[in-house]
Chain A
Amino acid sequence: MTDRIVVIGHSAVTCMGRDIDETWNGIVAGRSGLARHASLDPERFLQDIAGVVPDLGAEYDDDLAQVSKLDARSIHLAMIAAVQAYRDASLDRHASSIDRDRFAVVVGSALGGIDLFEAERERSAKRKSLATSPYLIPGLIINQPGGQIAQRLDLHGPSLAPANACASGGHAIVVGAMMIQADMADFALCGASESCLTPMIVNGFATMKALLGRKPNDRSYTNPAEASRPFSFDRAGFVLSEGAATLVLTKSSVAERLEIPVQAVLEGWSLNTDGYHMATPHADSIARCLRNALRHSRAEPESVDYYNAHGTSTIVNDQTETKVLKEVFGTHASRLAVSSIKGAIGHALGAASAIEASVCVRAIRDQILPPTINHVPDPELDLDFVPNKARSARIDRVMSASFGFGGVNNALILRRSTHD
């Protein structure tokens, strides 16, 4: 049998929960991790509803001792997610069987340590000298989470930090898989992390009208849990959140030799670029990306049981994505289950597609379709968005797609490991 790229570990740290169990259970229960936060002071922020991971720091988590001086939350989130996925893959029990020079680390982010940058800039403004923290540059750079993970887990293969906006996590997973296929690594720990709830970033997205702003007449004003509502009639922008997620990949032959259970097969993927606009998605290009992933998997559109959507809750994305799905899946589009978990956990930018990949692994394992919560039908968007309630279903093949500013697109296809 052909050697496949397989998932042997997965994790997620989100505003819904400190691990993939809490995250998945909350999503399936139809809960929201979004809330109004006093830290997002309306005097400084154009939106005070967000998805925040509570109690994050070395004082709450022993795994963060090494990174405690690097006060960028994306580094802390990435570390927690990486250690969880590594343990989920039972790799701590196979230490003697692993060539650590052949263990890749691919952890991306859209904005890296921008929170540290903004905090340090405020401190610098009050300082009598021009000195800045010596941890500013190490904490700001986007490859530092990967570097710290490598240090913590003693991994010395190739590392890379894809910075592909809201598609960073999916790109990282693809790059990790490609490193294994190119025989540069036996294992790849790949994913993304993001935390950028700063005035400049929140207000930047709000000013673009990409983010849901504060609106007294919006249903989120009285119930923040209803702020993010992908594919809904009254969707009005995304809600920013933070988080991280990691997949551990290897070849099926390695998993078999080490007797590590395969959680899903990463069957195919596609990356492409719109070359069209700085922020507006391009339907034709996205459609090509999805078709290329199907071709790479040698899968027919009709064989996809679930499509995990980018589904940001912006007017443009959800309209474009629905149009693309009808075009790519044809008559099967009306039977295809489509959902966006961003209704529940908001949009964690670069981390989003990694979190969504982890959730897809769970969907396949538990044979449950996660819902699109807060959904009110939009007559123009007439697909099965698994509205408001999770459903049991046969899920053998899943596609998850993400699209980012700068015109970057990815699509991953995950398959149930027993479906050969």
Chain B
Amino acid sequence: MTEQTCIEQVVETVRAAAKLPLTRVVEPRSRLVEDLGVDSLDLVGVLLAVQDRFEIVIDDADLDKLTTIGKLATYVQERLAENEPANDRDSARVAVSARG
């Protein structure tokens, strides 16, 4: 999955889970709580929806780091890369590292 595709899917998932109005601008730098108005209960729902959508597990220890759409998308790509077979892993790592 490309970085752009991942971001688009994360935005779509967050929009649906947090029931954000269509008029709300959501971009990689959008902060979930401060910019998108996601409260603490909704945040749990958003992260669970992301887990379900991408079939990954978000470690509780990582929750505090996932504050923006961009950080969440990066995290998703990293978890997906870990889950991929070994021969696909190298290309995924390149994609992740290319984002900086």
A residues sitting closer than 8 Å to B (CB atoms) are: 58, 68-69, 123, 126-129, 131-135
Contact A127 B52 (CB under 8 A): yes
Task: Tell whether, in the assembled complex, residue B52 and residue A123 are in contact, meaning their CB atoms are under 8 Å apart.
Answer: yes
- Whether the Cβ atoms of B45 and A69 lie closer than 8 Å is yes
Q: Separation in Å of the B82 CB from the closest CB of chain A?
A: 12
A134 contact from B41, B51, B56, Cβ within 8 A: B41
Q: Give chain A's interface secondary structure class.
A: loop
Does B55 sit at the interface, judged by CB under 8 A? yes
Known: A127-B52, A128-B56, A129-B57. A135 touches B19 (CB 8 A): no
Q: Apart from A127-B51, A128-B51, what are 8 other A-B pairs with CB-CB below 8 Å?
A: A68-B19, A69-B42, A126-B52, A128-B57, A131-B48, A132-B48, A134-B45, A135-B41
Q: How far is the CA of A132 from the CA of B49 in the complex (A)?
A: 10
Instruction: Mark B31-60 against chain A: 1 for CB-CB distance below 8 A, else 0.
Output: 000000000011011001001100111000
Interface size class of B (residues with CB under 8 A): 10 to 19
Q: If A68-B19, A69-B19 touch, does A129 touch B45 (CB 8 Å cutoff)? A: no
Contacts of B57 in A (CB 8 A): 128-129
CB distance from B61 to the nearest CB of A (A): 13
Q: How far is the CB of B72 from chain A (nearest CB, A)?
A: 16
Nearest-neighbor residue (CB-CB) of A135 within chain B: B45
Chain B residues near A131 (CB, 8 Å)? 48, 51
Tell me how far the C-beta of B77 lies from the nearest C-beta in chain A, rounded to whole angstroms. Answer: 17
- Check B56 against A133 for contact (C-beta < 8 Å): no
Which 6 pairs, one residue from A and one from B, show the smallest C-beta to C-beta distance? Answer: A134-B44, A128-B57, A134-B41, A129-B57, A134-B45, A68-B19
Contacts of B44 in A (CB 8 A): 134
Query: In the complex, A127→B52 CA distance in Å?
Result: 7
Say yes or no: A129 contacts B51, CB within 8 Å. yes
A350 to B13, CA, bound (A): 35
B45:A133 contact, CB within 8 angstroms: yes
Write out the residue numbers on chain B whose beta carbons fall within 8 Å of the beta carbon of A129.
Answer: 51, 57
Specify which chain B residues have a CB less than 8 angstroms from the CB of A126 in the assembled complex.
Answer: 52
B18 to chain A, nearest CB (A): 8
Chain A contacts of B51 at CB under 8 A? Answer: 127-129, 131
The answer to whether A128 and B55 have CB atoms under 8 Å apart is yes
Min C-beta distance of A276 to chain B, whole Å: 43
A384 to chain B: closest CB distance in Å?
51
Chain B residue at minimal CB-CB distance from A129: B57
Docked pose: A68 CA to B19 CA in angstroms: 8
Tell me, in angstroms, the Cα distance from A134 to B63 when the chains sit together: 15
Residues of A within 8 A of B56 (CB): 128
Distance between Cα atoms of A126 and B52 in the complex (Å): 8
26 A-B pairs with C-beta separation under 8 A: A58-B19, A68-B19, A69-B19, A69-B42, A69-B45, A123-B52, A126-B52, A127-B51, A127-B52, A128-B51, A128-B55, A128-B56, A128-B57, A129-B51, A129-B57, A131-B48, A132-B48, A133-B45, A133-B48, A134-B41, A134-B42, A134-B44, A134-B45, A134-B48, A135-B41, A135-B45
Distance in Å: Cβ of A160 to nearest Cβ of chain B: 25
| Measured CA separation A131–B48 after assembly (Å) | 8
